[in-house]
């Protein structure tokens, strides 16, 4: 396949296409942007669940936002609680951040279906403005969410070891090298925060 024809199915690919549709500044493009955003949110929830062995494949691959959210809450952590881990290596520090898919994003994804079915009556200008405003807000929140580089919080196993499922954004080679050194003694600070 030609590289120009590549269709990314990760959350960032969907978000990029949503932004492109939105930039076209047409009403029909706005509806396509809603579809891409809905897929981006679903994909992000699936990406968070994917690396965790204690979660079934069926639960990881659900397309229903409500079910994916319930799995995250039941299997990983409360749904709006994020985690920031600061790794101290001598004078250097590295941040690992788990930013959960917020209630706001999940609610938008669930109600996006209202715009994706055949419209029963023509939207007035006020409704188009509302959709446009909501899409801009959701894109901003989704961009913020995708700055996180942890796919879920650190989970302590029965043997006392922790799993960190890290997504290396922008090919962070220095962090990758640090984390691949066996026997390296590091100090960690963990903070929790809520997302809206």
pLDDT value, residue 69 = 92
Quickly count: other Cβ atoms within 10 Å of residue 100's Cβ.
28
Yes or no: say if 21 and 33 are a contact pair by the CB < 8 Å rule. yes
The sheet carrying 81-89 orders its strands as 92-98, 81-89, 187-194
Yes or no: say if 80 and 69 are a contact pair by the CB < 8 Å rule. no
pLDDT value, residue 3 = 59
**DSSP string computed for 112-144:** THHHHSPPSSPPPHHHHHHHHHHHHHHHHHHHH
> What's the whole-number average pLDDT of the chain?
89
Yes or no: say if 34 and 116 are a contact pair by the CB < 8 Å rule. yes
pLDDT value, residue 182 = 76
Within a 13 Å sphere around the CA of 38, how many CA atoms are in the beta-carbon half?
18
Indicate the SS3 state at residue 93.
strand
Q: Is the pLDDT of residue 171 over 70?
A: no
Cβ neighbours of residue 166 closer than 8 Å, sequence gap 6 or more: 96, 149, 150, 151, 175, 179
Cα separation, 14 vs 10, whole angstroms: 6
What are the pLDDT digits (tens) for 81-130? 999 999 888 888 889 999 999 999 999 999 887 777 887 888 899 999 99
Residues in the chain, how many?
A: 196
């Amino acid at each position: 396949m030609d590289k120009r024809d590549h269709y990314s199915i990760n959350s960032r690919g969907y978000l990029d296409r949503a932004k492109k549709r939105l930039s076209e500044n047409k009403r029909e493009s706005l509806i396509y942007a809603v579809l891409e955003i809905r897929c981006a949110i679903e994909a992000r929830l699936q990406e968070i669940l994917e690396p965790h062995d204690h979660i079934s494949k069926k639960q990881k691959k659900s397309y229903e936002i409500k079910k994916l959210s319930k799995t995250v809450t039941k299997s990983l952590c409360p749904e709006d609680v994020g985690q920031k881990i600061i790794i101290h290596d001598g004078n250097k520090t590295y941040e690992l951040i788990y930013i959960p898919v917020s209630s706001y994003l999940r609610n938008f994804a669930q109600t996006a279906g209202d715009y994706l079915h055949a419209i029963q009556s023509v939207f007035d200008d006020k409704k188009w403005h509302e959709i446009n405003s909501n899409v801009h807000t959701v894109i901003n929140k989704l961009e913020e969410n995708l700055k996180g580089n942890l796919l879920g919080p650190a989970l302590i196993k029965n043997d006392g070891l922790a799993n960190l499922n890290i997504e290396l954004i922008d090919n962070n080679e220095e962090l990758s090298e640090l984390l691949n050194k066996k026997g390296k003694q590091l100090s960690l600070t963990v903070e929790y925060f809520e997302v809206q």
